[in-house]
Amino acid sequence: MTDFFSAIPKAELHLHIEGTLEPEMMVALGQRNRVAIPFASVEEVRAAYRFTDLQSFLDIYYAGAAVLREEEDFHDLAAAYFDRAAADGVVHAEIFFDPQTHTHRGIPFAVVVRGLLSAIEGAKARHGMTVGLIMSYLRHLDEEDAFATLDQAEPWLDRLVGVGLDSSELGNPPAKFARVFAASRERGLRLCAHAGEEGPADYVREALDVLRVDRIDHGNRCLDDPLLVARLAREAMTLTVCPLSNVALRNVASLDVHPIDRMLNAGLRATVHSDDPAYFDGYVAENYRAVAAARGLSREQVVTLARNSFLGAFLSDEALAGHLAQLDAFVRG
């Protein structure tokens, strides 16, 4: 469907490339690579997607990633994503990948990155899309493992824009990764961290104070803490909010009570993204469309979300100005 929500130019800032593995591709790659998955059909895969919390999702998400083995697999996964993103009005994407999910299965770091980088070249050529790659540390593993991952990334550092922090949040506070985030910053990488998705507002504060992040992924739970909200607004800190994910993982009861407009009204630089769209039933335009309908967002509020996505991106001043001009031209029609 091409409508206002898919046409408006936007940046995707919160997307796990492993979370774009559609059931059809999971089954096809399982066959291509002779990797057994615990599902007999595409329908069985889909039927398994009934999550009760973050961990129940992560268990299936990591199991599904087992079909990704060859450079070509990572290429095909990302190329399919970029085609969908282009159709959704994404002109700039900063995508997460989870190296440890693959290196722990014996897949070399270089295989993953080479596949993703060749798909990125294709997205530039086919869609004129610009793409940044963000290496995300798995927080359920220890900091030493994250340091080993940073070492493996050394030959590729100029191809990465930043690092992130994802996986099981509760019990794995940001401070656990203080040293590896400092080391990542010293290598010129930008920093983001998932915080306040399931974890408390204090994890958001820790991501700011201890990790010194440039961007917060999710951040919803900041709303429990008015002083923190005021600070995030004052610092113009971007929060990459994922409405369909929030509902699928039961962090928000339903879209009808999603706080996206509360966040905007509080002066927060909130943006809307898709997280793991193959698992949560909707890419970025569908996230815009669904939350706008459920919350009755005005056209102006939707434009603010798109503008915030560019303001929160890791773009040069020149590239940012170009995207904002493109958005303004779109709004003027």
CA pair distance 245, 331, nearest whole angstrom: 28
Specify the DSSP element, H or E, that contains 214.
none
Place of tokens 């057994």: 36
Give the total residue count for the chain: 333
| Per-residue contact flags (x/-) with ligand HPA for residues 225 to 264, judged by CB under 6 A | --------------------x-------------------
Active site annotation includes 197: yes
Asked if 197 touches ligand HPA (CB under 6 A), the answer is: yes
The minimum distance between CB 324 and ligand HPA, in angstroms, equals 28
275 annotated ligand-binding residue: yes
The minimum distance between CB 75 and ligand HPA, in angstroms, equals 20
Sites of contact with Zn ion (CB under 5 A): 275
Among candidate residues 18, 22, 169, 197, the one labeled active-site is 197
142 annotated ligand-binding residue: no
| Beta strand 10-12 pairing with 238-241 | unpaired
The minimum distance between CB 63 and ligand HPA, in angstroms, equals 13
Distances from the Cα of 107 to the Cα of 18, 68, 110, angstroms: 14, 9, 8
Asked if 276 touches ligand HPA (CB under 6 A), the answer is: yes
Q: Which is nearer to Zn ion, 71 or 275 (CB)?
A: 275
CA pair distance 238, 107, nearest whole angstrom: 33
276 annotated ligand-binding residue: yes
The minimum distance between CB 165 and ligand HPA, in angstroms, equals 9
Token pair in block for residue 228:
């923190």
Specify the DSSP element, H or E, that contains 135.
strand 130-138
Asked if 54 touches ligand HPA (CB under 6 A), the answer is: yes
Q: Which is nearer to ligand HPA, 71 or 197 (CB)?
A: 197
Instruction: Considering only residues 118 through 137, tell me which ones interact with ligand HPA, judged by CB under 6 A.
Output: none
Asked if 194 touches ligand HPA (CB under 6 A), the answer is: yes
Beta bridge partners of 97: 135
Strand-by-strand arrangement of the 90-97 sheet: 10-12, 90-97, 130-138, 162-166, 190-195, 215-218, 238-241, 269-272
Whether the CB-CB separation of 221 and 256 falls below 8 Å is answered with no
Give catalytic residue positions: 197
Q: In the complex, which residues of this chain contact ligand HPA (CB under 6 A)? A: 16, 19, 54, 166-167, 194, 197, 245, 275-276
The binding site for substrate comprises 276
